[in-house]
Structure 1
């Protein structure tokens, strides 16, 4: 049985209770979830206004749909936990109890998180293939296949967990103030195994897959750089101009980085690790302790990571909006203003 052993308080062996303080995590999760909903809407509007609507932007939209549902699910958790106040006292006998809102929210969060991992991995693969000059994923049949896998596979896992009656109240074991896997002795398999099946295994697999593709991309770029230097040393002057060689007098909005350039492997790598790694670390802490009491230093680390997770797990759509839409837009306006100022100055001179 998985327990938050560090917060158990016992008056007697027959009367065990523990207290959970959710005030700060509720505020953090509610804020980040709300920002993600707003960020999702802005990404959808940006896609609607975009004339090209290329495949990379479409992948960002599909990922945003998953992240939007994840944020909504976590916000439902905030609403549910808010009913209990900032502190909740739970008896040992109540550890298997889960209401319909808790189970529904857990189902939404599991499905959305798994879909988010899939579309994140697919966006990384697409960027690597684009670098190699391949657009194979944009073919009609493969696009349909990507959608079938990306939405049906998470649903199958969530429905399976629901059928085994393992979705529900976990009292923030490796999660924030929302429901996930029941902290209960009566469920089949250990709860940490269900946590792996419904999220953590696929999350770690996504980490490793993206990291591997990032290393491959670095290798290809280094290889291309070495080849270019070799061609330059041999006197080959037929190479196209670099970004640095574009004169400012020819600046236009068409020279802005495309969504494919912005939605690259490095950004995906950082976006996923920064927002999700705290929850993964907490999961492995839980697995290592296997229900035994946490040491004080581990207890402190787990609390800090819980606060970070409360923000990160709900903020993915908002982070993508900031990094892929808002910052490039502001940067474009700044570049355009610099160009206009320089042109006015040159005309005066």
Structure 2
């Protein structure tokens, strides 16, 4: 399982983590694409989500390259991959917290002006701090081969560096720990404020307590609960391996733990896509309509292409069958 201070990454683990990277690449791209093609859905929180998706996209791509290469020694592409993934992963932490801070200021503090004014600060912190840390790590030769001790084939902090624990904290772990605390607190405060506001409104409109919450309200409430939970579930395996490294335990080299770590670190983009695209009714409806239109266009193209064949025996029957299929598709949409 391990050879000295090196965690072996098996082929099956590579396949699973590469698949996870692919899902995140697809999910992050879909979030960005929906923001670009539908201007009326470009809200401020969704714009912040796009910035987060750019980080997740870059992170998933760099992790995919690292898992595919399964580095076993220092090299130029190892350092480059480690630098990109360090920057993108740290940036992802900051943007995730930035979205929570924006929602807190906007909803709890009831100040859209203040919330919107925070965007410049978010950019300076979420891009600037990771860039400074990563640049310092590369210049001081701290980024490189880490023997998969707290990774899954990719490069991160050079394991041979005497102060590698400090640099692991600076390049990710300390921000991860802060996110574990900040995200649940902010989203709990947001949920509490919403519930208090709803209860206060019910006093003036007695009909509200007798009416069930709308589907959209229930879904929004569920999202506020799931966002920090999903973040922690995905990231906790990386934290567990880091703690086991500090403790000197060989349990950090367990294939199950290594696989969970690989999936958790690379699946954030896909999780965000599910939460903010597939579980968001207006965007989901537009995606379905777009897919249906594309299918209908292909069917009409094929229908035109097959038109000359309708003069053959049985052509009328085929035509009626196509028309019936089109009618059913239109009825379903």
Q: What is the TM-score with the length of structure 1 in the denominator?
A: 0.72
Question: In the alignment, does 2:112 pair up with 1:135?
Answer: yes
CA deviation after TM superposition for structure 1 residue 220, in Å: 2.9
| 1:267–1:136 CA distance, 2 compared to 1 (3 A) | farther
Pick the aligned partner of 2:56 from 60, 67, 71: 67
| 1:285–1:312 CA distance, 2 compared to 1 (3 A) | same
Pick the aligned partner of 1:77 from 44, 66, 89: 66
The 1-side partners of 2:122 and 2:63 are apart by 26
Residue 300 of structure 2 corresponds to: none
Maintained 8 Å contact 2:151/2:261: yes
The 2-side partners of 1:47 and 1:331 are apart by 10
CA deviation after TM superposition for structure 1 residue 127, in Å: 1.8
Maintained 8 Å contact 1:25/1:307: yes
Provide the secondary structure at the position in 1 that maps to 2:147: coil
Residue 27 of structure 1 corresponds to: 15
The 2-side partners of 1:243 and 1:73 are apart by 49
CA deviation after TM superposition for structure 1 residue 33, in Å: 1.0
The 2-side partners of 1:131 and 1:240 are apart by 21
Maintained 8 Å contact 1:25/1:177: no
CA deviation after TM superposition for structure 1 residue 332, in Å: 6.2
The 1-side partners of 2:207 and 2:106 are apart by 20
Q: What's the CA shift string for 1:296-324, capped at 9, x where partnerless? A: xx367x43221011112111111111222
The structure that is helix-richer by fraction is 2
Number of corresponding residues: 284
Provide the secondary structure at the position in 2 that maps to 1:7: coil
Residue 220 of structure 1 corresponds to: 193
Question: In the alignment, does 2:247 pair up with 1:285?
Answer: no
CA deviation after TM superposition for structure 1 residue 179, in Å: 0.6
Residue 108 of structure 1 corresponds to: 84
CA deviation after TM superposition for structure 1 residue 19, in Å: 7.1
Residue 24 of structure 2 corresponds to: 36
Maintained 8 Å contact 1:256/1:332: no
The 2-side partners of 1:226 and 1:195 are apart by 45
The 2-side partners of 1:123 and 1:174 are apart by 27
Question: Structure 2 matches for 1:113-192, cutoff 5 A?
Answer: 113-132=89-108, 133-139=110-116, 141-184=117-160, 187=161, 189-192=162-165
More relative contact order in 1 or in 2 (CA 8 Å, sep 6+)?
1
Provide the secondary structure at the position in 1 that maps to 2:266: coil
| 1:69–1:126 CA distance, 2 compared to 1 (3 A) | same
The structure that is strand-richer by fraction is 1
Q: What is the TM-score with the length of structure 2 in the denominator?
A: 0.75
Residue 2 of structure 2 corresponds to: 7
The 2-side partners of 1:114 and 1:100 are apart by 21
Question: In the alignment, does 2:267 pair up with 1:315?
Answer: yes
